[in-house]
Structure 1
Amino acid sequence: MLAGLLFAIAESDDRPERLTATLPFGGVTLIEYQARLLVEAGVSQIIILVARLTPELLGAVSRIGKRGVTVDAVRHASEAAAKLHPLARVLMLADGLITTERVVATLAEEGGDALLVVPQAEAGAVFERLGGGQAWAGVARLDPRRIGEAARLPPDYDAQSTLVRVAEQARAVHVMLPPEALAHGHGIERNGGALAERGRAVLAAIVSDRRGWFDRWVLAPLARVALPAMIDRRWPGAGVGAAGGVLGMAGLAAIGLGWSVAGLALAFVACVVLGIGATLSGLRDEAGVERAQRGAGLLIPAAAALFLGAAEGGRAGDVAALAVAIAAVTLATLAERAGPERLRQWWWGSASAYLLIVLAGAALAWPVIGLAAAAAYATATVAAAIERLRPQA
């Protein structure tokens, strides 16, 4: 069992009446973003050590609870120890920590006490210094006994610092922070303005940290430009998704009317908009909206290929083009199902990537060849996925 431990104690440097944990970040509060990282790492219980329960914090705790995890707000380490299962592993994030899912995942595995560390020369002023020229980088995996040991110390001790020291005395393993993490925004921030700047770097890392070439080199650059403006202007994720859906329907209608290239181009733009909207919804914990947008991002390319195959078959007076389109969609569906995200290689296909190939074929006046190329690409992806899964069988 994996449990999460968060802190809502430190006050913002530039807003003394506001807890750092409740500062806005990525369309939600910082502590909600941290909770999302923990949930994605596999925690089933989150304990938040608080100094005071502000209205903003109460609202954040309520929203975190809607993610399907148990959430408890406590004031002392002794209360936290009482709520933890004795066999649980505790994943602790520092108060004000900003990082990415990949960094948190480095300590979410099985094992004993471990501290994520960074060389002291590269550490910011708020990183806690350890021995050996290293500093704690804000993530720790703890045995629940460490919480009990901290609870037996005087209550005026800083709980977070105490837990780090207790783990260090228990000879916690030091895990080095990935070299690129600092450049991607990893750090501890307690200033609202600086938090927004650091948040842009983290958002860029989130959208760039994709395995597929299309997401990494086509979608991510566009998302890095669009997402900060959408968040600053409070654009609703559902609204972005609706715009993508309208563009997709317009593209399908255009293909049906014989304007294949324009229709495929609209469908492709729709997929990009839906991809950005899904990322925005995910940041705001709008799980239902995110799933709907990702589902639409799969359906629109499939429908576009089938519409194109039917249109080309109707013009040619045979069913060959439609048969190729059906084969392409079938193979693409199998490829999507066969390759789990953690196993995907950078060159594997995706729904939007197949659509881009079909669009290129139509633009060159070779629509059936474009469909056949997409089918061949999907076949290669399926074959690679099967080979990658075989050793695990």
Structure 2
Amino acid sequence: MLAGLIFATEDAGDRPGVLAATLPFGGMTLLEYQARLLVGAGAGHILVAVTRMTPALLGAVSRAAKRGVPVDVVRSPEEAAAKVHPLASVVVVADGLVTTDDVVDRVAGEGKDAVVVTQEPSASLERLDARYCWAGVARAPAQRLADIAAFPADYDFQSTLLRAIVQAGAEQIPLPASAVRAGHGVEREGAALASRSNAVLAALTERRTSWADRHVFTRIARLVLPKVVEKALPGWLLTAGGVLLGGGAVALVAAGWPWGAAVALPGVAALATGAALSALRGEDKRASAQETLIAVISAVVLLALGAAESRADATWDGLILALVTVAATAIGERTQARVRRWWGSPAAYLLLVVPFAIAGRVSWGLAAVAAYAFITLAAAVESRREKP
């Protein structure tokens, strides 16, 4: 069984009386984000170590518990040891830590004591030895909480637990350089935390691997996401905007204006932005639905272009090319192969066909995306073949 222990004891550096754990982060509080990481790593129980309760902290704990995992507030190692399952493996998250799910996933699971370490003091909390510093994430058996339960009450809970883990011969896990670039670090200043939030958002958008996503829609998402978070816009608004723009593009194409396909591009960008925001908030089903909508909109726009071209030329060529593209893409997605940067994607096909549609050469564009989709499918199937 996996459990999580989040420390929420320190005040924000620029907001006296406000706990750093309750500072805004990505449209939620930092505590909720940390809880989301633990739930995503498989934690079935979360403990929040506090020294005092505030209305903001109470609200954050209540919202974190809505993820379907019980969340208990503890004030001492004794309480924590009493509430956690005695056979659980506990992932410890430092007070004010910003990190990514890759780091937490790397520590989560069964095993002996472990600490994530770094040689960069800017991304750390406490120095462990002359070479390494603690990077704010650790793993320990529940017994470690019982080991420090008898310590005097004036001992710092977080620091004492860390020392007990290290003295137990903890495995040292190096912090990946990519995590630092993605915003990993301890932060208790509101303004600086917002900056780290933007770095985490940027890292989430970078996971989109195809060239169209990475170099076009991801760049748009990186510009728009901080503003969306700052204004606390609901995620459904991005989804609705993407669907409306996609529907508008189809309507324009069906009305005889092929250039209307370009209207779908900002809709895809809105959905890509919404998917990144949903991923940050741990709303995996919504993020998956938004990714699916990108594929659906791209497919419907291509089919509308194909149907309009067939109607104009009195042949089946345009519609057949569009159907080939959609079918090849659907089959390619089912291969579950590791996506290469140059491979096509629904967003890439839409992006490629739009210039042809604007220039009035729809059939050329459909032929290009059909060939591209077929080449991508062939590469995906080849990558799944067992090599002799």
Q: Calculate the TM-score normalised by the size of structure 2.
A: 0.91
Q: 1:175 aligns with which of 173, 176, 182?
A: 173
Deviation string for 1:179-202 (max 9, x for gaps)? 233333211011112212232222
- For residue 314 of structure 2, what is the aligned residue in structure 1? 317
Alignment pair present for 1:76 and 2:76: yes
> Which stretch shows the higher mean deviation, 200-209 or 130-139?
200-209
Matched, 1:370 2:370: no
2:270 to 270, 273, 296: 273
> How has the CA–CA distance of structure 1 residues 167 and 249 changed in structure 2, closer, same or farther, with 3 Å as cutoff?
same
Whole-angstrom CA distance in 2 between matches of 1:304 and 1:112: 53
| Map of 1:357 onto structure 2 | 352
1:346-371 Cα distance to aligned partner (Å, 9 max, x none): 33332211211222443454433433
What is the CA–CA distance in structure 1 between the aligned matches of 2:138 and 2:210, rounded to whole Å?
30
CA RMSD across the alignment? 2.4
Match of 1:223 in 2: 221
Kindly indicate whether the alpha-carbon contact (under 8 Å) linking 1:268 and 1:301 is maintained by their aligned counterparts in 2.
Answer: no
CA drift at 1:113: 1.6
Give the AA of the match of 1:319.
W
Residue 247 of structure 2 is matched in structure 1 by 249
Opposite residue 16 of structure 2, the aligned amino acid is P
After superposition, residues 1-393 of structure 1 pair within 5 angstroms as 1-119=1-119, 122-124=120-122, 127-260=125-258, 262-284=259-281, 289-339=286-336, 343-363=338-358, 365-389=360-384
Distance in 2 of aligned mates of 1:243 and 1:98: 30
- Opposite residue 151 of structure 2, the aligned amino acid is L
Partner AA of 2:325 in structure 1: A
Kept in 2: contact 1:238–1:289 (CA 8 A): no
Say if 1:185 and 1:199, in contact at 8 Å, map to a contact too: yes
Deviation of 1:290 after TM superposition, in Å, equals 4.0
Q: Deviation of residue 291 (structure 1)?
A: 4.6
| 3-state SS of 1:5 partner | strand
CA shift for structure 1 position 380: 3.9
**Structure 1 counterpart of 2:268, one-letter code:** C
* CA deviation after TM superposition for structure 1 residue 29, in Å: 0.3
CA distance in 2, matches of 1:201, 1:325: 38
Q: 1:215 to 1:42 in 2, by over 3 A?
A: farther
Percent identity of paired positions between Structure 1 and Structure 2:
48
CA positional deviation for 1:158: 1.4
Give per-residue Cα distances to partners, 1:40-76, cap 9 Å, x unaligned: 2222222211222222122212221222222222222
Deviations 1:207-236 (A, max 9, x none): 224333333222222122111122222222
Does structure 1 conserve the Cα–Cα contact (< 8 Å) formed by 2:124 and 2:134?
no
* Partner-residue secondary structure (3-state), 2:138: strand
Give me the whole-angstrom Cα distance separating, in 1, the residues matched to 2:54 and 2:42.
28
Flag the 1:81–1:376 CA change in 2: closer, same or farther, 3 A. farther
Q: Which deviates the most, 354-363 or 182-191?
A: 354-363
Residues 90 and 142 of structure 2 are in contact (CA less than 8 Å); yes or no, is this contact kept in structure 1?
Answer: yes
- 1:250 counterpart letter in structure 2: G
Distance across 2 between alignment mates of 1:130 and 1:307: 62
C-alpha change, 1:386 and 1:48, in structure 2 (3 Å) is farther
Cα contact 1:27–1:283 (8 A) shared by 2: no
1-side partners of 2:277 and 2:37: how far apart?
15
Q: Is the 8 A contact 2:4 2:92 kept in 1?
A: yes
| Contact 1:332/1:375, CA 8 A, preserved across alignment | no
Secondary structure at 2:11's aligned position in 1?
A: coil
User: Residue type of the partner of 1:141?
Assistant: R
Q: Distance in 2 between the 1:57 and 1:285 partners?
A: 19
Residue deviations 1:141-179 (CA, integer Å, cap 9, x gap): 222222221223223221211121111111111111112
Q: Secondary structure at the match of 1:9?
A: coil
Identify if the C-alpha distance between structure 1 residues 128 and 387 changes in structure 2 by more than 3 Å, giving closer, same or farther.
farther
Kindly provide the CA deviation profile for residues 317-372 of structure 1, in whole angstroms up to 9, marking residues without a partner as x: 122321221221122122233327xx433333322112112224434544334334
Distance in 1 (CA, whole Å) between partners of 2:63 and 2:371 is 45
How far is 1:244 from its partner? 1.8
User: Residue type matched to 1:26 in 2?
Assistant: G
Amino acid at match of 1:70: P
Specify whether residues 167 and 131 from structure 1 end up closer, same or farther in structure 2 by C-alpha distance, changes over 3 A only: same
Shift of residue 206 of structure 1? 2.4
> 2:361 & 2:93 partners in 1: Cα distance?
54
Q: What is the distance in 2 between the residues matched to 1:45 and 1:156? A: 26
Tell me how far apart the structure 1 counterparts of residues 249 and 267 of structure 2 sit (CA, whole Å).
Answer: 8
Question: Using a 3 Å threshold, how does the CA distance of structure 1 residues 137 and 372 change in structure 2: closer, same or farther?
Answer: same
Report the 3-state secondary structure (helix = DSSP H, G, I; strand = E; otherwise coil) of the residue aligned with 1:106: helix
Q: How many residues are paired up?
A: 387
296-305 or 356-365, larger mean C-alpha shift: 356-365
CA distance in 1, matches of 2:211, 2:191: 33
With 137-146 and 147-156 compared, the bigger mean Cα shift is at 147-156
Is the Cα–Cα contact under 8 Å of residues 238 and 281 in structure 1 kept in the other structure? no
Q: What TM-score, normalized to structure 1?
A: 0.90
